[in-house]
Amino acid sequence: MQISDPALTRELQNGRPFVQTNVSFSQRMVLRGMHWQYPPQAKLIRVLEGEILDAIADVRKGSPTFGEHLTIELRSDQPISLYIPAGYAHGFCVISSHARVLYQCDIPYEPLGQRGFRWNDPDFDIRWGTDFPRLSEKDTELPLLSQIKRSEFPIFMG
């Protein structure tokens, strides 16, 4: 599925500079997600080592594409980066033996601003390629999207 959003085109043209870079390392079948931050944070993702199935989902309140998602395989041997607009949830599952993933963020990470929904939420039906991923305790405890207060979602600024 392709998400077509005029506000995203404007964001790409007028985006903020990246101010923080992070690198994560994960083993096969580790699934991280689905996360977003408040205030909303845009990211640029690139796989430095290995292969992942990456997923983004529009969780912006009032967006015409709210609830839509897309998945894409990202690999270190194909130099492709994925831009994740502010207000989108993000997650990935490692499909190689391990993966090292680079995140560039347009605002610093704020632990108290971390939000998310469960990786297997039926409202999104993201096809991860596994029914038994390896999850962190934090990701195991994430709520379903329907259990999240509307005030927790970023606002669509289209």
98 belongs to the catalytic site: no
Q: Are 83 and 12 in contact (CB under 8 A)?
A: yes
Sign of CA dihedral 103, 54, 32, 68: positive
Q: Identify the active-site residue in 69, 88, 90, 103.
A: 103
35 assigned to active site: yes
* Residue 158 burial (10 A CB sphere; 0-12, 13-18, 19+): middle
- Burial zone of 6 (CB within 10 Å; 0-12 exposed, 13-18 middle, 19+ buried): exposed
Q: Could you say which of 35, 38, 83, 88 is catalytic?
A: 35
Q: Which residues are catalytic?
A: 35, 103
